[in-house]
Amino acid sequence: MITNIPRIETDRLILRAPGEQDIEPTIAFLMDTKRAEGFGTEPDRSRAWRWFAMNLGHWALRGYGYFIIEDKASSQPCGLVGIWSPEGWPEPELGYAVFDGFEGRGIAYEAAMRAREWAYTDLGLTSLGSHIVPGNARSVALAERMGARYERTYKNPYMGEDMIYRHPSPEELGLAPASRQVEA
């Protein structure tokens, strides 16, 4: 078990380490070609399982990755949020996705705002972008609601064309930087 994954809370949510109980909901999300299209859909169960395991490896190698978003009221896993920077990414990315049945409740916004704060204050990151596939209007709307603005388009090695939406810096948000910094 990876022990360096923090547990972070908001009023309604817990951002926590992925566990065995989260494998099935995550696999179902990743295999749903409509829902996971802008996140990175996996065509079969074994590849979706590998993504789940890769996320844990990302935490071990980078010190950050995707949290499971848990709804406090129901204790159900309801999405993914975190910082992602695998080989080929130009920088650490703030990513977010909500599982089926949890849309329209502000969960992605609440979780992403808290994950961004954690990345700046605890990890010491000084800049974050959200990489969004063109046409993903809901993700663009969320990034813009968080204060992010379109910066540029680049060729993502896994997703093809991606737009980078730049988030406000820690200074712009009035956040104190962490005493340590994590390398991308």
The pLDDT value recorded for residue 179 is 55
Look up residue 161 and give its DSSP letter: E
Find out whether 144 and 165 touch, Cβ atoms under 8 Å: yes
How is the chain split into domains, by residue range? 8-173
The pLDDT value recorded for residue 46 is 95
- How much of the chain is helix, strand and coil, in % rounded to 5? 30, 25, 45
The topology under which CATH files domain 8-173 is Aminopeptidase (3.40.630)
pTM greater than the 0.75 cutoff:
yes
Read off the pLDDT of residues 1-52 as tens digits, 9 standing for 90 and up. 567 899 999 999 999 999 999 999 999 999 998 888 888 888 899 999 999 9
The pLDDT value recorded for residue 176 is 75
The pLDDT value recorded for residue 181 is 52
Burial class (CB in 10 A: 0-12, 13-18, 19+), 161: exposed
Q: Of the candidates 176, 175, 122, 114, which has an alpha carbon nearest to the alpha carbon of residue 146?
A: 114
Residue type, 118: W
The pLDDT value recorded for residue 138 is 92
Average pLDDT over residues 66-74: 97
Find out whether 118 and 18 touch, Cβ atoms under 8 Å: no
The pLDDT value recorded for residue 89 is 87
Confidence band (pLDDT; 50, 70, 90) for 88? confident
Beta bridge partners of 175: none
From residue 103, alpha-carbon distances to 2, 108, 112 in Å are 29, 8, 14
pLDDT at 159 over 70: yes
Read off the pLDDT of residues 117-158 as tens digits, 9 standing for 90 and up. 999 999 999 999 999 999 999 999 999 999 999 999 999 888
The span from the first CA to the last CA of the chain, in angstroms, equals: 23
Tokens found for residue 71: 């709804």
Look up residue 21 and give its DSSP letter: G
